[in-house]
Structure 1
Amino acid sequence: MEKVYDVVIIGAGPAGLTAAIYASRGNLSVAIIEKGAPGGKMVMQSKIENWPGDKVVMGADLALRMYEHALEYGAEHLYGEVEKVVSISEFEKEVHLKNNKIIKAKSVVVASGMNERKPMDVEGILDFEHRGVSYCAICDGPLFGKNPSIIIGGGNSAVEEGAFLSSIASEVHVFVRDDKFNAEPRLVEELMNKKNVKVHFNSKVLKLMGTNSLEKALVEIDGKEQEIEAASLFPYIGFIPATAFLKDLNILEPNGLLKVDEFKETKEKGIYAIGDVIVKEIRQIATATSDGTIVGKILTNRLGK
C-alpha cells in the first residue's frame, strides 16, 4: 500500500526543521523534501550571532544540529525538487517532484524559503555563474584564493560576508548603490576595520569580463567608469520567494508570498506556510523556528493519533 504521510514539509531551513521536530515528536509521520543542503540560508552564513544560547555559531554547524534533531524523532529526508502541489481535499494532498515521483500526505507545510535575487542589470552576470559569480561567499570564497573579489549590496548579508571574504581574498570591493549601509552598525564597524576592504558608495558594477572565468569588471565609482581586477563576485541584493510550484493553487500574493492565519494555514485548507515565504515583518532564524513550532503543534493536535 502506498504510504501517506501525515505531514510533508517542503524545505529544510530552520522553519521546516523545527516543524519536523515538533510534528515527529507528536508521533506524526513526517517527510521533509529538500533539493539542496539541509539548513537553508544558515548553511551559507559564515557566522550567526543572534541565536539565543550561542554568542557565535557557524551557520553550517547550527544547520547540522537542527537537521540531526529533526531526524532524531523519525522524520524522513526525501531529496527532490517540487514541481507542484495538488490539493484533492482538506486531508488529501499530493506533492509532485520533478523526477515524476508523487508524495502523498494529509497536510503540506511550505517552508521553501527564498532564492537569491540576481543583479540582471550587470552585463555578463549569467555568463559568469559558476565561473566567478557565486551567491555564497562562505561556500565558494576559498575557491578563488588570494585574488580580488567583489561584493554587491549594503545589508547585513553583504557586510558579514564581505568581512568573512577579507580573510581570504587579496582585496574586497564592496559596491553599495546608496550613500550608506543599511546593515547593523556593529557589523559595519567590523567590515570597515578590515584593511583590505574598499567600500564604494553610490556606485555599481556595470559589466563582467574574462576568458574562461571572471577576470575583471567594469564599474562606476562616483560617476566615473573604470576597470578593476576581480576573480569572484558575490551579489547580496535580496531574495524572492521560492513558491512558483504553488501557482496553480491560487494562494500566492502578487509578490509570491503567502498569507496565513494564526495557525499558519493558508486559505487552502490543509496547506500551511512558515518561515520567509509568509507575509510578515521580521525574517530571522528565531522567527522561523517560532513559525515551525506553531505549525508543528497545530498539526499534532489536528492529526494526532
Structure 2
Amino acid sequence: MTHNPVIGRFAPSPTGPLHFGSLIAAVASYVDARAAGGQWHLRIDDVDQTRCQPGAAADIQATLEAFGLHWDGPVQTQDGNRSRYQAVLETLIAAGRAYPCGCTRREVAAVGREGPAGMIYPGTCRAGLPSGREARSWRFRTEPGEWVIEDRHCPAITVNVYRDIGDFILLRGDGLHAYHLAMAIDDAELGVTDVVRGGDLRAATAPQVTLQHALGLSTPRYLHLPIALDARGRKLSKTNQAPAVDPTHPAPSLLAALTFLGQAPPSSLHQASPLEILDWATANWATHQIPAVTA
C-alpha cells in the first residue's frame, strides 16, 4: 500500500510582525510535517488587503528563517491567486451554489441570529434579490444536513452548516474574495494533507469543509491547538498588540513554544541552536501531549 506524503503549511496574515501565538502555530505545523517525513509550505494570507501592512510579509519570512523554520518550495500568496478565486466562484454560480446578496452587514445583524461562527444570515436574498436591490456580495448556498468533522487533537464536532452557520460570504461587498473560499482553494492547490492551526479557527473548519465537498476537493486532516493568552486573558494577536518575537534570540522563544505545546524540551537544549532544537522536537513530537483546547 502506498501512502500520500504529508504536506503541511503555515499561513500567516501580513498584518504585523510574528508574535508568540503565531510562532506556536508555525512551530507545531512545521514539526508535525517534518516528524512525518513530509513537506512544510508557507503561504502569506493576504486576501484581505485592507488589513495588510507594508513590509509585514517580508518581515515574517525573515523571522521564520531566523528561527530555523525553512519552508519547501516558493512562498504562496493569496493576492496572486485572485483570478483563480473568481473562476471558482463563477463555477459555483453556474452550478446554483452561489447567489447575489444585497444585504448590508447592519441589516443582517438586525434580523439575523448569533451562531457558533458569528451572525447567521437569515436568507433574505436566497430566493432572489428583493425588488430595487442590487448585489453587494455573493453567498454560498448551504444545504441541510450534518457534517461530522474529525480533529487529530480535539473531539469531533457535528455541525449542520445550513442551520448553525447559514449561507456564508464568498465575495465581499468591497470586491475582495472571502477567507473561506481562498483557504479551500489554496490548501487544495498546495496539496495540503494536514492543517495544524490555532483553536480559534475551529469555527472556520465547517464552512471550509463544505466548500471542499462542493468543489470536489480533498479534505485535509485538522489539528487545532490551544490558544496562547496575554496577561489579561486575551488571545495573543496583532489586534491586541501582542509583542513581536525576537529574531535575534530565537532559542528561548522556540523552547517556550514547545513547552506551551506540552513537549517538555530538556534543559540541555537551553544552549542549543534553533536547528538543534527543531531536530529534537521533530524526533520527539507527541501530539497526545498537547494541552486540551478550551476555546
TM-score by length of 2: 0.29
Which structure is larger by alpha-carbon Rg, 1 or 2? 1
TM-score by length of 1: 0.28
More helix by share: 2
